[in-house]
Structure 1
Amino acid sequence: MSVEFFMTSMVVILLPGTGVLYTLAVGLGRGFRASVAAALGCTFGIVPAAVASIVGLAAIFHTSAIAFQTVKYLGVAYLLYMAWSILRQGGALDVNEDKKPLSLFQTAFNGMLINVLNPKLSLFFLAFLPQFVDVSQANAAPTMFLLAGIFMALTFVVFVGYGGGAALARDYVITRPAIMKWMKRSFAGAFVFLGVRLALNEE
């Protein structure tokens, strides 16, 4: 793994996106264990995009407008669903201990869907991974799979860090209802914004 790959990956991973927002929301609402599950789900959600780019399937999104638009609007719908889920009772930021929270599996599954239903992720890997592979190699696939695995491992570590930080702030936040209300609206608004931005993106 080159220094350039590591630095580029870290910049991409650290930038706040849907996975980061989801992990933060879960950490604030459910605590550290749930945030680890969210981070794990978001990380595994990268697998389809990485595999698609490596085997060349992501090129379909360049040539088939229908395929890209279908996946894109499924992603938009899911982001809007996540916004609604945060605002509703029992959602990701609901800390009412009298109600049964989402299981760790459900938390991870929701995180996975966020990344699976993002067609831009496949295009990102299609453009990103080849830059760090020796074009003289007869078969670059093993190297690309290795780099994708490293990217996923870095994603998990960073997301756990985000979730851990959110979990540490949880006690401060949940004892102040006004702050929790503001946090719910902010996270929901962020998901709506990302959904609208994805819907308006033509590429």
Structure 2
Amino acid sequence: MDISTLAVFIPACFALNMAPGPNNLLSISNATRYGFVRACMGGAGRLLAFAIMIALAAVGLTAVLHTSEWLFHVIKIVGAAYLFYLAVQLWRTHPQDQGDMNAVSASMWSLARQEFLVAIGNPKAILLFTAFLPQFIDHASAVTHQFAVLGALFLALECIAISLYGYMGVHARRLFARPSGKRLFNRICAGLLAGAASVLLLSRRA
């Protein structure tokens, strides 16, 4: 893989990583509620989901999603339902429960599972890898190796995105320090998650 390909891939890929989708909204919300470290560790669930999607794209299994309207809709509805569930939970969160991050019972495992389910329940994210990564593949060379390199770069850049959104969440926590501010921030995030779920429900296969 030549340098010119990577020079185009890396900035384009990072733009996708930084797009304010459901998982990045979760990073902000989790950092606000549980702290920077837990939010970043929870992002491991998202990385696992994306690694699975990249592997599926590499072996061509995502072609099934392109041809199966039924499977696409099932994944879409389940993913949107989970986003609505998270939005309701966040809307109903009491600000007093967020006073001491050390007292929060949410484990890193539960946050990672949450990130994984949000990522894996978005069929558009799965199709993204089949539409985006192949554009940078040279079919005259070893395709599997190139998918591995590009996939590893994508995941590395995703780690940076997780950290940046978590950092934003920490600062948001300081801005909304009072209970009324925390309630407002939680409900803004809940509204954004519900909006993302609505967009997902309205999405169609490319």
> For 1:71-90, what aligned pairs fall within 5 Å after superposition?
71-89=75-93
Whole-Å separation in 2 of the counterparts to 1:177 and 1:66:
44
Question: Against the structure 1 CA distance between its residues 168 and 56, is the aligned structure 2 distance closer, same or farther, given a 3 Å change threshold?
Answer: same
- Count of aligned residue pairs for this structure pair: 200
Cα distance, 1:76–1:169 mapped onto 2, change above 3 Å: closer
Match of 1:48 in 2: 52
Query: Aligned letter for 1:156?
Result: C
The one of 123, 129, 132 equivalent to 2:133 is: 129
Q: Percent identity?
A: 27
* Counterparts in 2 of 1:162 and 1:6: CA distance versus 1, 3 Å: same
Contact kept, 8 Å, 1:36 with 1:160, in 2: the verdict is yes
In the TM superposition, residue 160 of structure 1 has moved relative to its aligned partner by 1.1
* Preserved contact between residue 30 and residue 38 of structure 2 (Cα < 8 Å): yes
Larger mean CA deviation between 51-60 and 157-166 belongs to 157-166
| Equivalent in the alignment of 1:147 | 150
Rounded to whole Å, the distance in 2 between the matches of 1:96 and 1:56 is: 47
Using the TM superposition, name which of 96-105 and 52-61 deviates more. 96-105
Amino acid aligned to 1:10? F
Aligned mate of 1:5, from 3, 9, 13: 9
CA distance in 1, matches of 2:193, 2:104: 24
Q: Which moved more, 1:43-52 or 1:55-64?
A: 43-52
Equivalent-residue separation in structure 2 for 1:24 and 1:94 (angstroms): 17
Q: Is the 8 A contact 1:45 1:114 kept in 2?
A: no
Contact kept? 1:22, 1:38, Cα under 8 Å: no
CA distance in 1, matches of 2:130, 2:56: 8
Q: Does 2:169 correspond to 1:160? A: no
Q: Paired residue for 1:59?
A: 63
Moved segments of 4+, more than 3 Å: 96-100
* Equivalent pair of 1:27/1:164 in contact (CA under 8 Å): yes
What is the distance in 2 between the residues matched to 1:29 and 1:13?
22
Structure 1: segments with no counterpart, 5+ residues = none
| Alignment CA distance shift 1:94-1:198 (3 Å) | farther
Aligned to 1:198: 200
**Long gaps (5+) in structure 2:** none
User: Partners of 1:185 and 1:161 in 2: how far apart?
Assistant: 21
TM-score when normalising by structure 2: 0.90
* Alpha-carbon displacement from aligned partner over 1:62-90 (angstroms, at most 9, x marks no partner): 11111111111111111111101212337
The normalised TM-score by structure 1 is 0.91
Structure 1: distance between partners of 2:187 and 2:93? 13
Q: Secondary structure at the match of 1:102?
A: coil
Q: Secondary structure at the match of 1:57?
A: coil
Deviations along 1:37-96, whole A, 9 cap, x unmatched? 2322222221221111111111111111111111111111111111012123379x9514
